[in-house]
Structure formats: C-alpha cells, structure tokens
Amino acid sequence: MTDNKILDVCLDCGYRSASRFYVAFKTICGCTPREYRARYRC
C-alpha cells in the first residue's frame, strides 16, 4: 500500500480521469479507493 494521494495513484495507473479510476476500482475491489485504504491500513 502507498501513502500517495489517490489522484496520484490514478494518474500513475494511466487513467486520465479520477471518476473512471473510481468506477474501475469499485468494480474490481467492491469498494472505493478511500474505503479500501481505510479498511486495509495497518
């Protein structure tokens, strides 16, 4: 896991739009990036 901002991760993954990243992430993981980070942060 990274402490980078979610927008930075989105851009690093090649998405030009945060909204498209959020949709793809939620489809794959079943939650938003923010929910995922809160759930799995140690």
Q: How much is the pLDDT for 10?
A: 93
Write out pLDDT tens, residues 7-38: 999 999 999 999 999 999 999 999 999 999 99
Asked whether residue 14 is assigned to any structural domain, the reply reads: yes
Select the more confidently predicted residue: 20 or 3: 20
Provide the pLDDT confidence category of residue 42 given band limits of 50, 70 and 90. low
What is the Cα–Cα distance from 36 to 29, expressed in whole angstroms?
8
Asked whether residue 1 is assigned to any structural domain, the reply reads: no
0.85 cut: is pTM over it?
no
Q: Which domain holds residue 28?
A: 6-40
Question: DSSP secondary-structure letter at 42?
Answer: -
Q: Residue 21: how many CA atoms within 13 Å on its side-chain side?
A: 15
- Please give the tally of structural domains in the chain: 1
Q: How much is the pLDDT for 9?
A: 92
